[in-house]
Amino acid sequence: MNFDFTDDQKSLKEEARRFLTDASPLSAARGVLEGEGDGYDARLWARIVEQGWCGAAIPETYGGYAMGYVELCALAEELGRAISPVPFASSVYQFAESLMLGGSEAQKQALLPGVVTGEMVGTVATTEGPGEIAAGRINARVANGRLSGTKLPVVDGLAATHAVVLAQGDDGPGLYIADLVSDGVMREAVATIDPSRGAARLTFDDVPVEPLGAGDGIALLARIEERAAVMIAFEQIGGADRCLEMARDYALERYAFGRQIGSYQAIKHKLADVFTRNAVARSNAYYAAWALSTDSGELPVAAAAARVAASSAYWLASKEAIQVFGGIGVTWEADNHLFYRRARHLQLVLGSPSTWKRRLVDRLEGRLAAGELA
């Protein structure tokens, strides 16, 4: 047992941090937030693609580098720290995982190499309105292999070339692969809580699509998102740790009443609470990364636990960092809000924490009912 990154994984992480410190300063996220680019930083994206990171967990047969999921998680943590404004999560954790889990051999052959080279950017289009995803509320329809309907918000909907779309088919909800650069696809940017991760409204008018996998699309989507949740948890932890560091540094530097504010127990205990939540998230996320990398039956529980813990850690860290900064923290100019926004983005993007909490406990219950001991 080694409940930590290996030395190789650590050096990959260090290298990624060095690279992102230079290539993805916070000004990159801010630039996109303030309206540069189509909801992402195209130059930064090209450089990240060049690193080969998109292929970290993709098998060599499909053009990937098959380093492994723990390695991908290590990269995710660094991307999360840098709040990089790129479609990595959509394309790699969601779209590529959809293909690997549900795609036919031909689909994998056709699309995965493009994800690795960045020639293709994928996303997943699930949502149409408020509330959790449910079979009865999906209005997008596929008939005779053609999709019509509207999806919003679709994260990276402007950057993407392809999307996995949740739509009603003849046998209920299913997943379909759509080429977004085809006729009949209309895309409009929509404003979101985190504009550094652009989103769009996608309207499909009789667009040819291919089914992805068979059977219940909502169940398949849940399995895809379970996998994505592990990587997203690492992004959340990266961001939460960065918030903690920023707040710690500021608490050392700022004086009030003739003392460093970090000398007040109110501030010390606040930061210690954030540290504790981050540690809880990290433990759960490591376990989930292991479960994902070994195809363990633990994954459904571990992934949900990681997501729940990482979502609350990031929320706490991002809001309390603002609190430590005082007035400066609520300005547009300070970087705090970039993290506060990203925390909310990540906690909603695969569905809200309450959905995952329920899922987690359902699974725990199911496990006991099945007579498992652990």
Partner 1 sequence: MNFDDSPEEAAYRLKVRAWIAANKPDLSVLGPEDRVWTEPHKDLATRWQVIKAASGYACIGWPTAWGGSGGTAIEEAIFNQEEQTAGLRFSYFVTGLHMLLPAVLKFNDDDASRALVPPAVRGDTIWCQLFSEPAGGSDSAGLRTRAVEDGDDWIVTGQKVWNSGAQIADYGMVVTRTDPTVPKHKGLTAFWLRMDTPGVEVRPIKMMSGDAELNEVFLSDVRISDSQRVGAVGDGWAVIIFTLMNERAALGSGSGLSWRELIAMARNTPAGEGSAMDDPAFREWLADYYVDAEAIRLQTFRNLSALSKGEAPGPEGSAGKLLWANGAQDLSSRAVDLQDRFGLIDDPELAVANGAFHHRLLWAPGLRLGGGTDEIMKNIIAERVLGLPGEPRVDKTVPFKDIPSGR
266 near ligand FAD (CB under 6 A): yes
218 vs 59: CA distance, rounded Å: 26
With a CB cutoff of 8 Å and minimum separation 6, the contacts of 154 are: 123, 124, 125, 127, 160, 163, 199, 200, 201, 202
Among 61, 137, 219, 279, binds partner 1 (CB under 8 A): 137
Asked if residues 158 and 39 have their Cβ atoms less than 8 Å apart, the reply is: yes
Judged by beta carbon distances under 5 to 8 A according to partner kind, the member of partner 1, ligand FAD, none in contact with residue 340 is partner 1
Among 327, 369, 371, 373, binds partner 1 (CB under 8 A): 327
* Residues linked to residue 122 through DSSP beta bridges, in sequence order: 162
Residues in region 177-236 near partner 1 by CB under 8 A: 190-194, 199
CB of 145 to ligand FAD, least distance (A): 55
Residue in this structure with the two tokens 């501030």, named with its chain if needed:
267
Among 21, 182, 259, 273, binds partner 1 (CB under 8 A): 259
Terminal C-alpha separation, the chain? 17
307 vs 302: CA distance, rounded Å: 9
User: Phi/psi of residue 93, each to 5°?
Assistant: -75, -30
- Contact range with ligand FAD by CB under 6 A, out of 67-75, 229-237, 241-249, 325-333: 325-333
228 vs 164: CA distance, rounded Å: 14
Closer residue to partner 1 in complex, CB, 17/363? 363
Residues in region 340-369 near partner 1 by CB under 8 A: 340-341, 344-345, 347-355, 357
262 vs 247: CA distance, rounded Å: 9
254 near ligand FAD (CB under 6 A): yes
Residue from 101, 94, 108 nearest 61 by CA: 108
341 vs 12: CA distance, rounded Å: 28
Judged by beta carbon distances under 5 to 8 A according to partner kind, the member of ligand FAD, partner 1, none in contact with residue 135 is none
Question: Count residues contacting ligand FAD (CB under 6 A)?
Answer: 12
Q: Where on the chain is the footprint of ligand FAD (CB under 6 A)? A: 254, 256-257, 261, 264, 266-267, 323-324, 326-327, 330
Where along the sequence are the contacts to partner 1 (CB under 8 A)?
A: 126-134, 137, 152-153, 155, 190-194, 199, 253-260, 264, 266-267, 270, 315, 319, 322-323, 326-327, 329-334, 336-337, 340-341, 344-345, 347-355, 357
